[in-house]
């Protein structure tokens, strides 16, 4: 498995995202530039310029027409994927830590930071594709305020029924996506260790969380019951569920601020593969020389990419052995 090294960023990566076809990869970093890459060979397709601060988050609409980014310059920007034009800027009172399109591509959620007297919020914006994207509503259609513990990440459940949010205190909440009412809150991770990432399964019925408490959990979107727990030996920044094969990929490593105080061999800057159902660690992929901030997987499950504090994105296309690997019990199940 030879990785393709994407070295287009000058600072640490914050999020990477494959589009729904898997041919494009979008990456954002602290250097204020959004990059788009061909996932097959790592060639850079282009950049989206305009943000004034570190970009925390990126998402692409399901039809790969619009791109949304959230940044430390307190804005959410909407871009035309094809032309690279910025079609809309929404201003917020604080930094935007996470954006995500709903499965239909009609709405966009944005998680805003708690700062300077403003509480953290999850804001829902309506997206309009008509008239060259110029008819975007100025006002959000829904605003959820997190007055207890701020949300750090959020995403849409199946059928855009719920908004699922991960919080700074290690809990996970389920909100009604229409009304914004809090339906459930579960202390899924250790108290006061924040959830750094939430990524959904392809049908969005369950999701995986990555937490500072050195574990990742597979949680049902319907009732927030914890289905599986994956224990690592280092704080986790990102986790993703692989389609096609029943694996999950976890990324993390010693927190960036602690790295210089310890030896390099202790950093644990590896992508870890666990079996989704049996919770066993299957393998690790080395390469980064800083913690992994984000991992993403190709929607057809043939490749994955990781973005690190070291400023590199590494794209790996899986070998045959990856697809062949199977537990004996799985093989039996197949034969039946």
Residue ranges in contact with other proteins by CB under 8 A: 40-41, 103, 158-159, 161, 201-203, 205-206, 220, 222, 227, 233, 243-246, 262-263, 265-266, 277-278, 299-302, 317, 320, 323, 327-330, 332-334
Q: In the complex with other proteins, which residue's Cβ is closer, 11 or 244?
A: 244
CB 47 within 8 A of CB 36: yes
Q: In the complex with other proteins, which residue's Cβ is closer, 88 or 245?
A: 245
Q: In the complex with other proteins, which residue's Cβ is closer, 201 or 293?
A: 201
Q: In the complex with other proteins, which residue's Cβ is closer, 126 or 246?
A: 246
Q: How far is the CB of 333 from other proteins (least distance, A)?
A: 6
Q: In the complex with other proteins, which residue's Cβ is closer, 209 or 293?
A: 209
How big is the chain by its Cα radius of gyration, in Å?
19
Q: How far is the CB of 19 from other proteins (least distance, A)?
A: 14
Q: How far is the CB of 33 from other proteins (least distance, A)?
A: 24
Q: How far is the CB of 107 from other proteins (least distance, A)?
A: 15
Q: How far is the CB of 303 from other proteins (least distance, A)?
A: 8
Q: How far is the CB of 200 from other proteins (least distance, A)?
A: 10
Q: In the complex with other proteins, which residue's Cβ is closer, 52 or 141?
A: 141
First to last CA, the chain: 32
Q: How far is the CB of 76 from other proteins (least distance, A)?
A: 26
List the 44-48 sheet strands across, edge first: 13-18, 24-29, 34-38, 44-48
Token readout for 20 is 């729904």
Q: How far apart are CA 41 and CA 205, in angstroms?
A: 32
Q: How far apart are CA 160 and CA 154, in angstroms?
A: 12
Long-range contacts of 106-109 (CB under 8 A, 24+ apart): 107/141, 107/156, 107/160, 108/59, 108/68, 108/76, 108/78, 109/154, 109/155, 109/156, 109/163
Q: How far is the CB of 158 from other proteins (least distance, A)?
A: 6
SS3 category, 330: helix
SS3 category, 15: strand
Spatial CB neighbours of 336, under 8 Å, sequence gap ≥ 6: none
Q: In the complex with other proteins, which residue's Cβ is closer, 4 or 13?
A: 4
Q: How far apart are CA 288 and CA 271, in angstroms?
A: 9
DSSP H or E stretch at residue 304: strand 303-308
SS3 category, 292: strand
Q: In the complex with other proteins, which residue's Cβ is closer, 186 or 326?
A: 326
């Amino acid at each position: 498995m030879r990785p393709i090294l994407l070295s287009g960023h000058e600072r640490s990566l914050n999020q990477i995202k494959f589009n729904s076809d898997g041919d494009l990869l979008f990456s954002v970093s602290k250097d204020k530039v959004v990059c788009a890459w061909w996932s097959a060979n790592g060639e850079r397709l282009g950049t989206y310029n305009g943000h004034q601060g570190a970009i925390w988050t990126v998402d692409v609409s399901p039809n790969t027409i619009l791109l949304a980014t959230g940044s430390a310059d307190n804005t959410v920007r909407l871009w035309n994927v094809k032309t690279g034009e910025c079609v809309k800027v929404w201003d917020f009172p604080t930094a935007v830590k996470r954006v995500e399109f709903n499965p239909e591509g009609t709405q966009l959620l944005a998680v805003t930071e708690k700062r300077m007297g403003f509480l953290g919020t999850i804001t829902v914006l309506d997206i309009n594709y008509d008239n060259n994207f110029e008819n975007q509503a100025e006002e959000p259609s829904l605003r959820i305020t997190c007055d207890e513990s701020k949300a750090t990440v959020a995403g849409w459940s199946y059928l855009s029924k719920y908004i699922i949010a991960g919080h700074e205190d290690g809990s996970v909440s389920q909100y009604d996506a229409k009304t914004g009412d809090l339906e459930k809150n579960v202390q899924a991770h250790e108290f006061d260790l924040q959830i750094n990432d939430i990524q959904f399964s392809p049908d969005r019925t369950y999701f995986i969380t990555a937490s500072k408490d050195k574990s990742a959990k597979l949680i049902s979107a319907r009732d927030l019951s914890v289905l599986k727990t994956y224990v690592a030996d280092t704080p986790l920044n990102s986790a993703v569920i692989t389609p096609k094969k029943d694996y999950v990929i976890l990324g993390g490593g010693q927190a960036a601020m602690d790295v210089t105080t310890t030896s390099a061999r202790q950093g644990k800057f590896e992508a870890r593969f666990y079996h989704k159902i049996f919770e066993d660690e299957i393998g690790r992929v080395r390469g980064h020389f800083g913690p992994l901030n984000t991992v993403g997987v190709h929607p057809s499950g043939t490749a994955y990419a990781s973005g690190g504090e070291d400023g590199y994105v590494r794209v790996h296309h899986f070998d045959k052995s990856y697809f062949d690997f199977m537990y004996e019990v799985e093989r039996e199940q197949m034969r039946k």
